[in-house]
Structure 1
Amino acid sequence: EINNSVKMSSEVFSYESLVHAVSGAVGSVTAMTVFFPLDTARLRLQVDENRKAKSTPAILAEIVKEEGFLAPYRGWFPVICSLCCSNFVYFYCFHSLKASWLKGKQSVPSTDLIIGIAAGVVNVLVTTPLWVVNTRLKLQGSKFRNADIQPTNYSGILDAFLQIIRDESVGALWNGTFPSLLLVLNPAIQFMIYEGLKRQLKRGGPRELSSFEVFIIGAVAKAVATTVTYPLQTIQSILRFGQFKDATDASKLLSSLRTIKCLLVNRVRKYGILGLFKGLEAKLLQTVLTAALMFILYEKIASCTFRVMGLKWGKKSKHK
């Protein structure tokens, strides 16, 4: 009987994790599609150094005028594929690690942070090649202010993979992995704040949060996480774009650290400390709105799925 209950709880946990993973993936893909042009504006500001940072609507208007009406949605498909895989992996790891670690006990912020970091590391190592490819596809055909940027010619996701491996080696698919690993702090901080605020709001007793509450705590969590980690995100975009060349005589880790330091110092030297936050307005607008909408959809999809399955679960857990 003990064996049965262990088996049953592990089934429930893996099923629960799957529901969370699918809900997170669907929620994030929908939210990203709605606010995708804001991400296009942010990426241009980060990578194209000579583009002046104006207001986000002005940059989008400029892109539409120069490159056509659909330009803000350039690279949508690879981004959505990457995001779907990325969030599925992240939510699945986060909830299955949490379930096996806590075994039904109440979570605390430090646990959420550690689990968030672990889930983030798995996610980065698995999905970085997808993000490298989609950064390239998203910027392909853009009119850059910086004349040194080399144009690329990829016909799609697979072609981009093959060309990068052929011309730059397999390792290039993991460009920007080191800042990405540092950036696992972003979703980890976001989830820690989100779960913490959720626990605070539910203090009065178990209840389902309203969409407005989920929107607000999702937005606050993402705004804090994004601002704290933004300079590293800029460096990550530049490295993924693959235009930055540096001597790699030392070990990979040392040269990664040196590259990050070099890019950060150059940026500060050229544009001052605020240069590290170039495009932050577009990024905050996009990520805060996207995260808030993603969390609402994620909570709704997950709770609906659990409600549909809930009757069976309720009976099972009572017998146990």
Structure 2
Amino acid sequence: MASVLSYESLVHAVAGAVGSVTAMTVFFPLDTARLRLQVDEKRKSKTTHMVLLEIIKEEGLLAPYRGWFPVISSLCCSNFVYFYTFNSLKALWVKGQRSTTGKDLVVGFVAGVVNVLLTTPLWVVNTRLKLQGAKFRNEDIVPTNYKGIIDAFHQIIRDEGISALWNGTFPSLLLVFNPAIQFMFYEGLKRQLLKKRMKLSSLDVFIIGAVAKAIATTLTYPLQTVQSILRFGRHRLNPENRTLGSLRNVLYLLHQRVRRFGIMGLYKGLEAKLLQTVLTAALMFLVYEKLTAATFTVMGLKHAHKH
């Protein structure tokens, strides 16, 4: 139990949260472009920079940063939960031995499930706030009018019921494989590099963080597209498909997308997503590693986890 409540897990959680917030703020406009490409199917611009230029021209210079605060607060909570759970479980299970790729994957998966169940309502609200006031090309989208995070929670519960806050939970649970795959590759690559050298440079951490995220994102992207559409929840879906997030609905949305745009429709916005997540993950891991190392040094603690 001590390892779950340990100071070390807290340091990892805070460093992970700070790392993700820093990285997300730097690359936030890329996420705005990705979300528009996924949700607004009638948009003619296909490339990231064209979509961003269009958004700035039509909606103002700060439009790519719309919804920054709810996203950052959700991300902060989400990564805190993820890193805390990941490091606590790892400490409990590994208990001073060397970790293995299989253990990293299992621990990453469990941490992801805990994270999804606790933080999905925050992500549903911030997807809506990020798209509020956007000029959509798709007439099927019902506009929203929320004053902020609390008002969005209130309106969604009042108009759509409390379960709407967990819209997209099913694909999110499937998407738990994304961070699990990412952490598995990250920890694995890190172990391989550490065999060859004593210490990893900033560039090493940046590159392995980028490679791990690129693999995880490409493997799970079609589900991310469905997740964005479900979280947004403002498309006029078939009445029999109102149970957002069920397996049938996920398959229905995947099928619709392939029928209308071909197999590449599942990868619409991937370029923006890869640019944003790969750079964000790489920068996040870099800040995370530096912060944990610095904190442990200052506190005179040895980095107790053996990787």
1:60 corresponding residue in structure 2: 52
1:37 corresponding residue in structure 2: 29
- 1:143 aligned onto 2:135: yes
SS of alignment partner, residue 6 of structure 2? helix
Query: For 1:176 and 1:104, how far apart are their aligned partners in 2?
Result: 38
| CA positional deviation for 1:310 | 2.1
Tell which structure's C-alpha radius of gyration is larger: 1
2:64 corresponding residue in structure 1: 72
- 1:269 aligned onto 2:296: no
1:215 corresponding residue in structure 2: 206
Matches within 5 A, 1:121-132: 121-132=113-124
SS of alignment partner, residue 209 of structure 1? coil
1:241 corresponding residue in structure 2: 232
| CA positional deviation for 1:243 | 2.0
Structure (1 or 2) with the greater helix fraction: 1
Offset from partner CA, 1:243-288 (integer Å, 9 cap, x none): 24344589x69x7010000000000000000000000000000000
8 Å contact from structure 1 (residues 246, 259) kept in 2: no
- 1:115 aligned onto 2:118: no
Query: For 2:141 and 2:47, how far apart are their aligned partners in 1?
Result: 24
Query: For 1:107 and 1:304, how far apart are their aligned partners in 2?
Result: 23
Unaligned runs of 5+ in 2: none
Residue identity in the other structure for 2:233: G
1:289 corresponding residue in structure 2: 279
1:225 corresponding residue in structure 2: 216
Equivalent of 2:93, from 101, 121, 144? Answer: 101
Query: For 1:289 and 1:249, how far apart are their aligned partners in 2?
Result: 36
Query: For 2:3 and 2:117, how far apart are their aligned partners in 1?
Result: 26
- 1:154 aligned onto 2:146: yes
Residue identity in the other structure for 2:257: R
1:90 corresponding residue in structure 2: 82
SS of alignment partner, residue 300 of structure 2? helix
Query: For 1:127 and 1:230, how far apart are their aligned partners in 2?
Result: 20
Residue identity in the other structure for 1:261: L
Offset from partner CA, 1:144-173 (integer Å, 9 cap, x none): 000111110000000000000000000000
Query: For 2:6 and 2:174, how far apart are their aligned partners in 1?
Result: 28
SS of alignment partner, residue 111 of structure 1? helix
Query: For 2:4 and 2:277, how far apart are their aligned partners in 1?
Result: 32
| CA positional deviation for 1:96 | 0.2
Equivalent of 1:310, from 300, 304, 307? Answer: 300
1:317 corresponding residue in structure 2: none
Query: For 2:118 and 2:214, how far apart are their aligned partners in 1?
Result: 26
Query: For 1:132 and 1:68, how far apart are their aligned partners in 2?
Result: 24
Query: For 2:45 and 2:269, how far apart are their aligned partners in 1?
Result: 7
Q: Classify 1:249/1:46 alpha carbon distance in 2 versus 1 (closer, same or farther; 3 Å).
A: closer
SS of alignment partner, residue 133 of structure 1? helix
Query: For 2:79 and 2:4, how far apart are their aligned partners in 1?
Result: 20
| CA positional deviation for 1:208 | 3.1
Query: For 2:229 and 2:40, how far apart are their aligned partners in 1?
Result: 9
| CA positional deviation for 1:55 | 1.9
| CA positional deviation for 1:57 | 1.1
Deviates most, 35-44 or 195-204: 195-204
TM-score normalised according to structure 1 size = 0.91
Query: For 2:123 and 2:252, how far apart are their aligned partners in 1?
Result: 22
Deviates most, 94-103 or 196-205: 196-205
Offset from partner CA, 1:188-238 (integer Å, 9 cap, x none): 000000000000010136x33111000000000000000000000000000
1:300 corresponding residue in structure 2: 290
Query: For 2:44 and 2:98, how far apart are their aligned partners in 1?
Result: 48
Unaligned runs of 5+ in 1: 1-6, 315-320
| CA positional deviation for 1:12 | 9.0
Residue identity in the other structure for 2:265: G
Alignment: residue pair count: 303
Percent of paired sites with the same residue: 73
Residue identity in the other structure for 1:63: I
8 Å contact from structure 1 (residues 48, 145) kept in 2: yes
Aligned alpha-carbon RMSD (Å): 1.9
Q: Classify 1:242/1:103 alpha carbon distance in 2 versus 1 (closer, same or farther; 3 Å).
A: same
8 Å contact from structure 1 (residues 53, 278) kept in 2: no
